[in-house]
Structure 1
Amino acid sequence: MTCNFSIKTFDELTTVDLYHILKARSQVFVVEQNCPYQDMDELDFDCLHLIAHQNEALVGYCRIIPPEFNQLKSNLSVADPAIKSNHTSMPAIGRVLVLSEHRGDGLARQMMTQAIAHCRKKYGKKRPIIISAQTYLLSFYESLGFVPEGDYYLEDGIEHVKMVLYVIKKTKVKKESANTASTTTKILSFLLFIMAALFVLGLLYLMI
């Protein structure tokens, strides 16, 4: 599925943008999930809003909560010990949705990939990202690298689990030094010389 993605602050959203965002959130999180809850909150003012458009129509959406406004915290129970304590303050991705008629085409993955890349660029490549995931989507978020943390819990009557995306450190492979390679070559050459000498001596012995 080919879509155009845009990321805007709340002040950059047009009234038309805001109308379609709130309509989509109401359609998915309130009507579809049969969950009457207060969707519009004070966080929207401080979030970045990622919108997926197809032919100028909103088909997907999520919001990025900056670290300083994110109340969802990780206890780093499954974190790499090398992660510094100041990374307990991390961005969050939430209100992830794809309209029903556009599901099954990989749009959710494209959108999350865009959101993760933006978090890495804006808040640092080594800073973890946290989400509150509905448990039926656990395998989807795990496929993106998120790790479940803690027990399941109810949020507005729906089962959720906290998940964190950590940065996987690349393991450096030490290259064999030139001296080591040279020494190995000399040893092999010496062994080959001994074997050749023994072979010649064997032939001479048989000829005598």
Structure 2
Amino acid sequence: MTYEFSIKTFDELTSVDLYHILKSRSQVFVVEQNCAYQDIDSLDLDCLHFIAHKDEALIGYCRIIAPEFNTMVAHSSVSALGSMSAIGRVLVLPEYRGDGLARAIMIHAIKYCRKKYAKKPIAISAQTYLINFYESLGFVPNGEFYLEDGLEHVNMTLHLLKKVKVEKPGSPVTSILTFLLLVLALSFIAGLVYLML
């Protein structure tokens, strides 16, 4: 499947963009999940809106919440959860599921967060049936399950993997081979000296 991505602030969204975002969020999170809740919140104004397009039509979406606007601290064992960026409202329209689009959206959103927010950890509030999917991207649960709008959720965090400098000691096999090469080289030189005398 061929698709393109765009990312926009709320002010950069056209009225048509906003209509399609809200329509798709309502379709997936309210109608499909049979969950009446207030999808539109004040966070939309301060989020970055990440849109997957196919032939200019919205087929997937997520929003990126900057650390200063992330209010995701309840239900978590990580006290600093609110001081990191977050990814939310991740969706793929039903007819486009099963081709890896959700993974592509998340990978692009993660890369964007890493670049924009100084490689800090990233938070999500995941519906529990998606735990394995988010774990496959490196997120780890960090708290108890909780109900949000009647659906079971868990907070998860993607931590930055720290590069560890490991000294590479010579393995026993390498040491033995090095010793044997040294013995052969010395034997060769000794043989040459013997032949020259």
State TM-score, norm by structure 2: 0.83
Residue in 2 that maps onto 1:154: 147
The structural deviation recorded for 1:35 is 0.5
Query: Structure 1 residue 50 and structure 2 residue 50: aligned?
Result: yes
Residue in 1 that maps onto 2:113: 119
1:37-186 correspondence runs (5 A): 37-73=37-73, 75-76=77-78, 89-125=83-119, 127-175=120-168
* SS of match in other structure, 1:141: helix
The structural deviation recorded for 1:186 is 6.8
Which runs of 5 or more residues in structure 1 are unaligned? 78-84, 195-208
From the superposition, tell whether residues 20 and 110 of structure 1 become closer, same or farther in structure 2 (CA, over 3 Å).
same
Query: Is the contact between residue 91 and residue 128 of structure 1 (CA under 8 Å) also seen in structure 2?
Result: yes
The structural deviation recorded for 1:30 is 0.5
* SS of match in other structure, 2:142: strand
Q: Within 2, Cα distance between the matches of 1:75 and 1:109? A: 26
* SS of match in other structure, 2:130: helix
Which runs of 5 or more residues in structure 2 are unaligned? 188-197
**Alignment-mate amino acid for residue 65 of structure 1:** I
**Alignment-mate amino acid for residue 108 of structure 1:** A
**Matched residue pairs, number?**
181
Query: Is the contact between residue 75 and residue 88 of structure 1 (CA under 8 Å) also seen in structure 2?
Result: no
Residue in 1 that maps onto 2:195: none
State TM-score, norm by structure 1: 0.79
From the superposition, tell whether residues 138 and 190 of structure 1 become closer, same or farther in structure 2 (CA, over 3 Å).
same
Q: Within 1, Cα distance between the matches of 2:16 and 2:185? A: 80
The structural deviation recorded for 1:168 is 1.3
Q: Within 1, Cα distance between the matches of 2:110 and 2:89? A: 14
Q: CA RMSD in A?
A: 2.6
Q: Which moved more, 1:68-77 or 1:49-58?
A: 68-77
* SS of match in other structure, 1:37: coil
The structural deviation recorded for 1:169 is 1.7
The structural deviation recorded for 1:172 is 2.1
The structural deviation recorded for 1:120 is 0.5
Residue deviations 1:63-94 (CA, integer Å, cap 9, x gap): 001100101135448xxxxxxx7x86100100
What is the percent sequence identity of the aligned residues?
A: 69
The structural deviation recorded for 1:171 is 2.7
* SS of match in other structure, 1:35: coil
- Larger Rg, first or second structure (1 or 2): 1
